[in-house]
Structure 1
Amino acid sequence: MRAFDHRHPLVWDLHLTGFWMTAALIDYHGGGWLNVTRDRDNPDWLVLALSLGLSLPLLGRRAHPRAVLLALAPLALVNAWTGIALQATMLQLLVVFHIALRRPARNLWWATALITTPVAVMAARHPQGSPDQDIAPVLMSIAVAAAIGITVRTRRDHTEALEDRARRLEIERDQQAQLAAAAERARIAREMHDIIGHNLSVITGLADGGKYAAAKSPERAAQALHAIATTSRQALGELRRLLDVLREDEQTRAPHPELTPQPTLTDLTQLIDGVRAAGLPVHTTTHGSPTLSPGRQLTVYRVIQESLTNTLKHSGPGTRAHIELSYEEKGAVTATVTDTGTGAPDRTARRGGGRGLPGMQERTALYGGTLEAGPRPHPEQGWRVHLHLPEESPQ
């Protein structure tokens, strides 16, 4: 019913106005007003006019309650002055209800004064008992009508506030989901860059080495091709797993996707062996023993992987790399990767367009660490990447 009234307010207004107008006319035609009137000598046309005048304006009670009450005031005053005392004046309480429902509460003061003035006039001009017997019931009726209006208004405002809050929470939930999805896609993009980029760089190094070895040592060339095939299968498997995660269609998603744990520091040996097989000599120095959380181990692993990948891509022939790891107490770690390559200018030019350095910086920032990447100080040549992760904060 509320929904229908919201869509077609005129229908309800016409029905309610017609109902009260009919009641007023029955009171007039049936002579019911004679039971409460204080002057029976008033003409019928005046009684009829007041009956219609006190009921018809209710049609605009919702849209313009103050204007309707002002329009009823002179009619109520005539009703009191003549002593007709039609009960239709009680219809002003409907208007009071809508004033309390739709207008500021201060409007109730002048509405009360406007309604009680004719009552006071009737009590003075046509007394019937003490004046308080006429005024007190009217004041109580006004208070009840206003209280009902305020109660309905408070409940309506509370409901609207709850609906608005639910709507905002739903929007916030959707935004959080979108942000989480974007963050997850960015993370997967970093993983794809680190994994696929590294493997392709290794494959490129193996292919170049196999090309030079084919003429002089067919066995070395065959070993290079075997390593290329192994690395390619590994890269293809990693790519397939990442693409399975990116699929959003439940019907096309694998029911049991193949999952592998994220690499840790124990996988560094396999990583370095692959880089060595691609033709880049790598020397490692380790101080202390690792006591890092899995997330910190992944960060160190990816930074070293990206550094070695960049060395394979840009360092040039005859390059050597050195990795120095220093493990400190409470999860602090320092990793430095240097090379002796001559491709530093090329790497500097590509820093702004690639994803490698931003990805390393994002990973480092997650744990409040620092990352420095740039050419080694003169007179040394080559490139240096320095990572430091501070102590883990207590949970």
Structure 2
Amino acid sequence: MNPVTEDRAQEPLTEYAHRLTHRLRAFDRRHPLLWDAHITGFWVTAALIDHVSGGWRHNAHNLDVPGWLLLILSLGLSIPLLWRRTHPRAVLATMALFALVNAWTGAALQAALLQLAVVYHIALRRPLRDLWWATALVIAPVLVSVARHGEGTWDQQIGSQLMSITVAVLIGVTVRTRRNYTEALEDRARRLETERDQQARLATAAERARIAREMHDILGHNLSVITGLADGGRYAAAKSPERAAQALDAIATTSRQALTELRRLLDVMREEEQHDQADLTPQPGLTDLDQLLDGVRSAGLPVRTTTHGSPTLPPGRQLTVYRVIQEALTNALKHAGAGATAEIELSYEDKGAVTVTITDTGDGSRTDGPSRDGRGLPGMRERTALYGGTLEAGPRPHSEQGWRVRLHLPEETPQ
């Protein structure tokens, strides 16, 4: 048979054995006393059968041992196994007393070998230094038997017992090592899961912060446009009803856009599975600047643009440039005052470098200068810092009235 085919044929049996072992261990963890009682009952029954059937006579050095003493020795060498996992050292010391009597009388009951089960549990659960005195307790009856009854040589009897102890210890150490390794893997898996959850929470917090910036940029701009249109419509209502109607139409259109953007961003913040639909919406880029500028112009702020070079920026940099221009124009609509104008100068360089300068000629009569540096400018600086750029925002020189925002993104560095 092909080895691969043979392995596949044996795999279901292996899985079945693994599931069965897992269930037995789970039952043992839930009911340790019940499991220990079954194991102890099995060995007590085996010891009593050896006593009643007379099987002990095949190995005995003395066939005249009283029956009552044999019964006590059989029970004394088997019943303590009930506590072998919780108190292995006390159990071994108790069994060693009965083993010494067993060796001295010459009964040589096979139940004395159950001490090896206790040695196994000491190697499995106790510090390994406990094995020294445990070995001494198990070998002591052998020395007594050889000294009193003189059957076999010292090296044969002691060597055979040491070999049995070594096997029990090796099994216990092997199981202990594997158990520690499994626990270490489980602990590592738990820590990795905790770290994964922490990273997910951090990513969620970062995404919510990004969404908050987007909401500020979008809604702040649209509301500023609506405010400008409303102010213009109020003055136009008395002189030109047609211009007032156009202003109201523009207000309605801008309001609908703001509501659409708000709904989309709130959908992203929901914890249901609506993220995929929201992520499919493209972020604004340089191709959307014309639409942005048309909205600002309709709100009453004339804007003139000058472009140098060819715009070949990746989407992330385009979004940063778009949001900075949007925030600067929003501030101009809020604070520049009546009769102000704005100018945008874009200079595209090689390898993704770009410089954008937005200036307005406002007098700041609606508010004082420091109010401009609200929540919008920190958001613009955060976006700029993502690409190692610089952002300057402040009043123009005294000879030139107004406000200036200058963005510079350096060349893209290869990863």
Q: Same fold (TM over 0.5)?
A: yes
SS in 2 for 1:325: strand
Say whether the 8 Å CA contact 1:13–1:59 is kept in structure 2.
yes
Instruction: State the TM-score, normalizing by the size of structure 2.
Output: 0.85
1:391 aligned onto 2:411: yes
Alignment of 1:1-395 (within 5 A): 1-249=24-272, 260-343=281-364, 346-349=368-371, 351=373, 354-378=374-398, 380-395=400-415
Structure-2 separation of matches of 1:160 and 1:110: 29
Structure-2 separation of matches of 1:376 and 1:106: 82
SS in 2 for 1:137: helix
> CA, structure 1 residues 260+64, in 2 after alignment: closer, same or farther (shift >3 Å)?
closer
Instruction: State the TM-score, normalizing by the size of structure 1.
Output: 0.89
Q: Cα deviation per residue 1:18-75 (whole Å; 9 max; x = unaligned)?
A: 2222222232333322221223344443333222221121111001112211222232
Which structure 1 residue ranges, 5 or more long, are not aligned? none
Could you tell me how far 1:340 is from its partner in structure 2? 3.1
Say whether the 8 Å CA contact 2:293–2:303 is kept in structure 1.
yes
Residue 10 of structure 2 corresponds to none
Work out the number of aligned pairs and report it: 391
Q: Cα deviation per residue 1:249-282 (whole Å; 9 max; x = unaligned)?
A: 45xx699779653222232222222212211222
Could you tell me how far 1:378 is from its partner in structure 2? 4.3
2:370 aligned partner, one-letter code: T
SS in 2 for 1:388: strand
1:221 aligned partner, one-letter code: A
Structure-2 separation of matches of 1:19 and 1:280: 95
Q: Cα deviation per residue 1:333-381 (whole Å; 9 max; x = unaligned)?
A: 1222222333396452464xx5322321221122122222233354554
Say whether the 8 Å CA contact 1:241–1:258 is kept in structure 2.
no
What root-mean-square deviation, in Å, do the aligned CA atoms of Structure 1 and Structure 2 show? 2.6
Structure-1 separation of matches of 2:33 and 2:279: 64
Say whether the 8 Å CA contact 2:393–2:404 is kept in structure 1.
yes
1:279 aligned partner, one-letter code: G
Structure-2 separation of matches of 1:54 and 1:376: 99
SS in 1 for 2:202: helix
Which structure 2 residue ranges, 5 or more long, are not aligned? 1-23
Say whether the 8 Å CA contact 1:323–1:335 is kept in structure 2.
yes
Structure-1 separation of matches of 2:51 and 2:372: 96
Structure-2 separation of matches of 1:32 and 1:269: 103
Runs of 4+ in 1 over 6 A off after TM superposition: 254-258
Could you tell me how far 1:94 is from its partner in structure 2? 0.7
Structure-1 separation of matches of 2:310 and 2:53: 105
